[in-house]
A and B are shown apart, each in its own frame.
Chain A
Amino acid sequence: METALNLTFIVLLVATALMAVWARDLLAAVIIFSVYSLIMALMWQRLQAPDLALTEAAVGAGVTTVLFVVTVFKTRRREEEE
């Protein structure tokens, strides 16, 4: 049961990382990256690191995402083609 839960989280982590890398739309990539951070926070709670989970949920999923979103809005949303 424990292992199944851990494996689910890890599969979700790798999947969200790949999706964040592959997304052509930068805003979508940033939002998927915030989901990745949130899953990472849950994973750290499972690894008995509540301090880190708190920090990651606030910093990774909150502050970093908003800074990325601000940058995307101030520059351009689509990635340039080859």
Chain B
Amino acid sequence: MKRVLSLFFIAALGVLLLYVVASMPPMGDPQTPTATHVIPRYLERAEEETHTENVITGVILNYRGYDTMGEVTVIFCALAAVLAVLGRERRGRIRGFVDRSPVPSSTIVRTMVRFMVPFIILFSVYTILHGEISPGGGFQGGAIIGGSMIIFTTVFGLYESSRRIPQKVRAPLEGSAVIVFFLVGALGLVGGGNFLTYAWPHAARGLQPALVTWLTVLVEVGIGLGGAMVLISILFAMIREEEEIALTA
């Protein structure tokens, strides 16, 4: 009964949504309202205003800096909540559920992962540092670092990977995205502008572009490091096992 009722509801919703879609302007048309009002200004002035060739990075870090700062805080809060629910792994003897897998990973897999992980991390560093001139940036690079450590953990186990990135390195870096963002924003105030303005009015005119570029790169590095550490910490918190759970799981 419930299933039929919800199916009926969803079908009605689908018809309604499709009706709306049928009256929307055609996709890809340059004359639609979404493409004509604010966008040309962003696209034409972004390069000189934010000194980033990648307009998306300019929008994320410069035009909508507040947005991104709140979003970085959301990620940090998610990590805090996960740690509050599941707890951090202990420093001493730690095990994950992959450690007692009945099938150990083969030599080929171990060798290849050991070989690949440094290159993946190198690629993510490139992604973070070139975020303002090519596709990429802090979030992307951080997710790639997190992915590389996930591969490492699933093959070598929690003990090995938490030796590579120990807890006392991770814990201070988890908040780096929020801290760097806030510090750079406050630097804008010191320089005589508003919060989160990268361009300082009192700085010399010739200094301006280099300043904006370097501050942007700094924020990108902060977001990348912080995002990667948050992802790794969430994974470790979820993968770790306690003695009393090992019996039932």
Contact = CB atoms under 8 A, between A and B. Distances in A.
B147 interface: yes
Contact of A63 (B56, B136, B231): B231
Interface stretch (B177-185, B196-204, B232-240): B232-240
Contacts of B136: 51, 54
Interface of A: 50-51, 53-55, 58-59, 62-63, 66-67, 70-71, 73-75
B144 interface: yes
Interface string B133-158: 00111011001101100100010000
Interface in B63-105: 97
Contacts of A50: 135
Contacts of B127: 54
Given A51-B140, A54-B135, A63 B146 contact: yes
22 contacts: A50-B135, A51-B54, A51-B56, A51-B135, A51-B137, A51-B140, A55-B139, A55-B140, A55-B143, A58-B140, A58-B144, A62-B146, A62-B147, A63-B231, A63-B235, A66-B150, A66-B154, A67-B238, A70-B97, A70-B238, A74-B238, A75-B249
A73 to B, nearest CB: 6
A18 to B, nearest CB: 14
A62 B139 contact: no
Interface of B: 54, 56-57, 97, 127, 135-137, 139-140, 143-144, 146-147, 150, 154, 231, 234-235, 238-239, 245, 249
Contacts of A73: 97, 249
A-B pairs, 4 with minimum CB distance? A50-B135, A58-B143, A62-B147, A54-B140
Nearest to A58: B143
Contacts of A70: 97, 235, 238-239
Contacts of B143: 55, 58-59, 62-63
